[in-house]
Amino acid sequence: MKLTPALLPQLIEVIADVIEKNAEEVTALDQAIGDGDHVINLQRGINALMLQRQELSQLDWVAAFQKIGMTLMSAVGGASGSLYGTLFIALSKAAREQSLDQQGFADIFSHGVEAVKQRGKAVAGEKTMLDVFIPVADYLRTAAENSVMLPDVLTKVSQVAIKGMESTRDMLATKGRASFLEERSRGHIDAGAKTGQLMICAIVDVLTKQLASPA
């Protein structure tokens, strides 16, 4: 399956849809231990991308990732805007050196996640979106090294993302407003991890359908 930015409009649309459908649940998660504005901020960025989705589809991956990153950085605001902006700008830089095959994407995504770790000064286990993104990046790299077939990779990526999201429930928050709650932050899923998981699973669904019925 050859992925091109022509798929971006569909990917942006399914992400907008899944975040909208889960907005109430995620906002409740965020209100429990955060500022309660995570979904609103994220949707501001998604809406900006919705307006650009046809333009993005005409670019190559390097330019598309860069434009997405800059748009999210300016439209979302807050921690999420900075982190997602950093992710996509790093993807753009890494994509200059790699082809977007299975091994190449694993390397590109790993570079992006590493940039987010550095920007957020966070690692796995601190109750953030990285508790989804780090295990997904690790799995993609392992799968590429072991030549796991793409349909199996896609299935496993969703499972890894869900497991990562669920793992935040019992973690002690050490970043952001949730960290002020100390032990009271336990027992709640991190909102950023939840939206990260939702978006990854939505993308996987699109890619799985593409694989089953390629154009």
pLDDT, one tens digit per residue, over 47-89 is: 999 999 999 999 999 999 999 999 999 999 778 899 999 999 9
Task: Return contacts of 32-37, CB within 8 angstroms, 24+ apart.
Answer: 32/188, 33/173, 33/177, 33/178, 33/181, 33/184, 33/185, 33/188, 33/190, 34/176, 34/177, 34/178, 34/191, 35/177, 37/78
Residue 159: CATH number of its domain: 1.25.40.340
Which tops the pLDDT comparison, 51 or 100?
51
Domain that holds residue 173: 5-212
Give the residue among 128, 138, 136 at the shortest CA–CA distance from 193: 128
The number of distinct structural domains making up the chain is: 1
Q: What's the confidence (pLDDT) of residue 180?
A: 46
CA angle 34, 11, 44 (to 5 degrees): 40
- Checking if the pLDDT of 187 tops 70, the result is yes
Which tops the pLDDT comparison, 174 or 191?
191
Query: pLDDT class for 181, splitting at 50, 70, 90?
Result: very low
Has this prediction a pTM greater than 0.75? yes
Q: What's the confidence (pLDDT) of residue 212?
A: 85
Average pLDDT value for residue range 170-187:
61
